[in-house]
Structure 1
């Protein structure tokens, strides 16, 4: 089960990315199930708010590194991955129910994008956000280029996305990529408490106000996402990406040999 859902009587659902052994990286199954689940929850008339978190020590490590070498040579697999990334973004843009992120561990790449598409972000004090696409030879095309400039500034987005540098929790709050940095042992309770506060509000007013506010995100996504994903797909053809993918494959084979 790549996603866990726990619903409570107060209209709050906790959705947990559930691949802890892989730091909740998005494989094909999670890419397929996540948009489907978001659509299903959005159609549930009893739900008023969602808390999104990760199992284990990470929120989400983003893309599945096991696919790196394959994407360098398999055009169809790469094309499917770009479509899958678009579906995840569309699911976050389309859901009317407010989503509160409880970032319990590293939120990296697509994981970071997922957090920044949430409506309110609580982050554990001891963790970080990062978008290292460029550092592994890829264009940052799956949504970060849309959310970061809108939430921070264009200059700050360039500084961190072009270098892949980690953004500690406190700085993420300072820059506007998260709302609250809290002790790790309080994170989920704080996020759920806030979700209950939203759930107690009139649902039509909440959901349609969220949809109006998300027009800013939709406009940014419309302007950047198509070009970004096309450019990210093209990144897989570069010599730099091939070298990084080969290095990852050697390390993975080395770990498998020692196991």
Structure 2
């Protein structure tokens, strides 16, 4: 396994399959500025690699991703950093949707907030039977603007998306499967075996047929992203300055000190 950065691991297999691992296990693979910056770059590099046929995305340790790193999302960060974060968030979702080869999310544990968005932006989703999805933005005073409002309605319908994005309630792996947010649920010790088997099966098929079919299927999401993503990220950025979010962040910091 070769490390493309401290926060990402890249494992290239001989059959054209790549495994990308979010590598901040001590934070449950929360997205700090470095990971926000590194993942879109790696996706763009894989997009330019003609030898890649499929990508499996998973998380190190016991989580897929706990979402945004709240220690880096305070309202006291300057405007330049906020604008950089805005661009990184947009680039991440756009690169996920634009990746020319199928992306399989192997959700090995909690996928929360941005983590849930990334999982639902994948082309195929396999979940450990102990994993769950939750978009908890509103529960900490944030707008669910980093892509959840784009992907969830497309997968589960508008009413269900509203229920879960407006409450922050979690979905078990089995419920995610029932609602159409997952393709398969696997025992934890079989998740990567199943994900790699699926990736390998896709990698053996005619690449132009697979890749252009994926692009056609994702075109609806890319069109919707033009209308939704910019406004969503802007609204989420504004919500980081609200008293409700500041209070939530202070409670989070206090728990960390305790």
Partner of 2:27: 22
Q: Contact between 1:130 and 1:166, CA under 8 Å: does it hold in 2? A: yes
Q: CA deviation at 1:126?
A: 0.8
CA offset digits 1:163-204 (Å, max 9, x no partner): 100110000011111110111110000000000111011001
Partner of 2:14: 9
**Range with bigger deviation, 90-99 or 186-195:** 90-99
Matched, 1:66 2:48: no
Q: CA deviation at 1:152?
A: 0.4
Normalising by structure 2, report the TM-score: 0.95
Normalising by structure 1, report the TM-score: 0.95
Of 166, 174, 179, 1:175 maps to 179
Q: Contact between 1:173 and 1:180, CA under 8 Å: does it hold in 2? A: yes
CA offset digits 1:66-123 (Å, max 9, x no partner): 123x335533333322221111101101110111110000001111100011100000
Q: Contact between 1:108 and 1:131, CA under 8 Å: does it hold in 2? A: yes
Partner of 1:47: 52
Q: Distance in 2 between matches of 1:61 and 1:11?
A: 29
Of 213, 216, 237, 2:241 maps to 237
Partner of 2:3: none
Give the SS at the match of 1:162. Answer: helix
Q: Contact between 2:104 and 2:126, CA under 8 Å: does it hold in 1? A: yes
Q: Distance in 1 between matches of 2:175 and 2:249?
A: 31
Q: Distance in 2 between matches of 1:96 and 1:71?
A: 36
Partner of 1:114: 118
Q: Distance in 1 between matches of 2:82 and 2:48?
A: 31
Partner of 1:219: 223
Q: Contact between 2:116 and 2:133, CA under 8 Å: does it hold in 1? A: yes
Unaligned runs of 5+ in 2: 1-5
Q: CA deviation at 1:231?
A: 0.9
Q: Distance in 1 between matches of 2:126 and 2:108?
A: 9
Q: Distance in 2 between matches of 1:37 and 1:73?
A: 26
CA offset digits 1:27-52 (Å, max 9, x no partner): 11111110111111111121100100
* RMSD of aligned residue pairs (Cα, Å): 1.2
